[in-house]
Amino acid sequence: MPDGAAPVLDVRDLQTVFRTRTGEVHAVNSVSFHLQPGELLGVVGESGSGKSVTMMSLIGLLPSPPAEVRAGRVEFGGRDLLKVREKELRALRGARIGFVFQDPMTSLNPVFTVGYQLREPLRKHMGMDKSAAHKRAVELMDLVGIPDADRRLEDYPHQFSGGMRQRVMIAIALACDPEVLIADEPTTALDVTIQAQILELMKELRQRLGMAVIWITHDLGVIAGIADRVIVMYGGQVVEQAPVKELFANPQHPYTRALLQTVPHLEGARAPRLKVIEGQPPVLSAPPRACPFRARCSHAFDRCARENPARVPVGPGHDAACFWDAEREAPRDV
């Protein structure tokens, strides 16, 4: 990625709530991050930590009601995506920002051929005629490694395997050469062999096309192999952010350290026993006034129950939202 380049995407203090019969759920709480051109940013955390809701909030994919983006700024291409009209946002989605969902079988329309679903964004966003769109669709199928592309364009989603359906979803997301690709746990439903193939495909595509990628996952093992930088989310907020090697070598938030202890190691009998993070992520009926991880944290002390820590620098390009100093094994002086 270019040194000193302006971010392609800059998110500041994003807040999203869901209105329910029993009250409001504060799913995203003052989330800030940026994405550099050509960078792959990993977003990790348990289910319920706010990863997917954050990314869907950016591009208006949450149903409203019950969802409401209450505050924040999302700068992309010189505009705040939270303030543009829905018509403009629809034009950006698929054209300049691609999205790959977790389950391709529920994302692809079962009554239309794969070819139709590939050609549609090309004709809508790029104004291609039928012949040009067909030619580009074949190129995209070849690009993502689907054999006999010309014939398979006339097949329906159910005629593809799970891994091939995910390749189709990636092809659709890449159809208009987006600047940013958001991938929401795209390999979770796949077996390990197919998952490895999709990860290798994404590496090749990113290198070839130069796009910036946000990869959402709960699997730190996946992030280790593909990401440049990682943000860790918990309780609807970012609790740690660092370059990927630094995060694995020197995690500073207790939640990140706990997540790393759940990753299997190929060390046979000498491998440390996998640990479980006891408890569940919080369901927030109000913005957190205390550390949301304190009930599950072995380092929590009285200050954690009084204040929600802000992210503070702990190293080059590395920050963490914690009152506990992992280096000194003592409370941080902030």
Q: Determine the average pLDDT of the residues in 106-118.
A: 92
pLDDT of amino acid 265:
64
pLDDT of residue 331: 83
Measured CA distances, 315 to 247, 319, 329 (Å): 10, 7, 16
- Looking at per-residue confidence, does 116 or 328 come out higher? 116
State residue 104's pLDDT score: 74
**pLDDT confidence band for 334 (50 / 70 / 90):** low
Residue 48: pLDDT band (50, 70, 90) is confident
Asked whether the beta carbons of 218 and 44 are under 8 A apart, the reply is yes
Average pLDDT of the residues in 133-153: 93
Every domain of the chain and the residues it spans: 9-96+176-264+276-331
Strands 180-184 and 97-100, bridge-based pairing: parallel
Please report how many Cα atoms fall inside a 13 Å half-sphere around the Cα of residue 210, on the Cβ side: 4
Q: What CATH architecture applies to the domain 9-96+176-264+276-331? A: 3-Layer(aba) Sandwich (3.40)
CA dihedral 187, 190, 192, 198 (to 10 degrees): -50
Distance CA 31, CA 247 (A): 19
* Residue 201: predicted pLDDT: 86
pLDDT of residue 272: 63
Task: Tell me: pLDDT of 313 over 80.
Answer: yes
pLDDT at 91: 86
Say which residue, 183 or 194, is predicted with more confidence: 183
Greater confidence (13 vs 282) lies with 13
pLDDT at 240: 97
Is the pLDDT at 140 greater than 70? The verdict is yes
Q: Say how far apart CA 284 and CA 13 lie, in whole Å.
A: 17
> Residue 163: which pLDDT band, with cuts at 50, 70 and 90?
confident
The pLDDT of residue 196 is above 70: yes
Tens digit of each residue's pLDDT (9 = 90 or more) over 262-300: 876 655 556 566 677 888 888 888 888 999 999 999 899
Contact 323, 291 (CB under 8 A): yes
Average pLDDT, the chain: 89
For CA atoms 263, 267, 269, 271, give the dihedral sign.
negative
